[in-house]
Amino acid sequence: MATKTLEDIPGVGPAIAEKLREAGYTELMTIAVASPKDLSETCEIGEKKAMDIIEGAKLCADIGGFETGDAILERRKSVSKLSTGSKAFDDLLGGGLESQAITEFFGEFGSCKTQVCFQLAVNATLPEDKGGLDSDVIMLDSENTFRPERVIQMANYLGVDPEETLKRIHVARAFNSQHQILLVDKAIELAKDRKIRLMIVDSLTSHFRAEYLGRGALAERQQILNRHMHDLLNFATLNNAVIAVTNQVAAKPDAFFGDPTRPIGGHVVGHTATFRIYLRKGKAGKRIARLIDSPSLPEGEAVFSVTEDGIKD
């Protein structure tokens, strides 16, 4: 894909491009859908000039086109489902995590988001008739919580060779949000040489939250996060892959029920993720998964447990 830049807009040179980027208009699409008034005010350019830039961006931006329903149905026939390891959890998701989509797990610290990621990584290496994807896995680890020991425990329980399993899980530490974004490009490269049908980003949002502080940085953070989510979705489509991301929410009793937009990157993440699952602790060591906002499945809950052997009913 030949991607155009802001400088491709007629009448936009380096100086104006710089102003636009500084104001958070880093994408042609963001400019194409901006209002002349906002653009003029935030970039300190005349309103007429702003209108010309917006018109130019509309011509340069890849707005996309229409696809007929039957073509979409055809593409969806190749969707696979990745098992979570728990029957109840899989049933909640209509059989497992879908490929060609992003599934977001959000919950408090300790709600087993990372445990679910380990299990998905191990399961993805299994054959398709065992609920896997028969593929390698990419794991972007932003919190340094990858533990090979856990993968070994889970692989042993499933009766598969732990070393072979570890060899198929490609882990990269993401040191900051920019690095995390670049790692998706790396992942696209890696996926050219081998079958990669699961990409995990654990956590999707922690670097963004730490780096973009305060109200002033919010718009920029959301835009960059939005772009990152679209890169991930692109990977999902190109590779018929499952994307699983985690998102930590604040430990407050109303973290979800009081205000469902509380997860970091609320709107952006919520609108791009196809499936959102809220994880929380239940009684007697049980964990509860709640499906929110699915395009085709009813809302509901599943109870599962996390043991030394992994995720189970």
Taking the least distance from each CB to ligand ADP, the nearer of 108 and 301 is: 108
What is the token pair recorded at 184? 């998706």
Q: Which residues bind ligand ADP (CB under 6 A)?
A: 107, 109-115, 306-308
- Binds 40, which of ligand ADP, Mg ion, none (CB < 5 to 8 A, cut-off by type)? none
SS3 call for 27: coil
For residues 224 and 24, is the Cβ–Cβ distance under 8 A? no
Taking the least distance from each CB to ligand ADP, the nearer of 67 and 308 is: 308
What is the token pair recorded at 283? 């009684």
- Binds 156, which of Mg ion, ligand ADP, none (CB < 5 to 8 A, cut-off by type)? none
Taking the least distance from each CB to ligand ADP, the nearer of 191 and 306 is: 306
Least gap, CB of 144 to ligand ADP (angstroms): 12
Q: Which residues bind Mg ion (CB under 5 A)?
A: 113-114, 145
For residues 237 and 67, is the Cβ–Cβ distance under 8 A? no
Which residues, including other chains, have CB under 8 Å from residue 7's CB and lie 6 or more apart? 13, 14, 17
Least gap, CB of 93 to ligand ADP (angstroms): 18
Least gap, CB of 128 to Mg ion (angstroms): 28
Taking the least distance from each CB to ligand ADP, the nearer of 99 and 111 is: 111
Label residue 240 left, alpha or beta by phi (over 0 means left) and psi (-120 to 50 means alpha). Answer: left
Least gap, CB of 301 to ligand ADP (angstroms): 17
When CB distances to Mg ion are compared, the closest residue is 114
Neighbour order of strands in the sheet with 136-141: 169-173, 136-141, 196-202, 242-248, 101-107, 275-281, 286-292, 300-307, 310-312
- Binds 193, which of Mg ion, ligand ADP, none (CB < 5 to 8 A, cut-off by type)? none
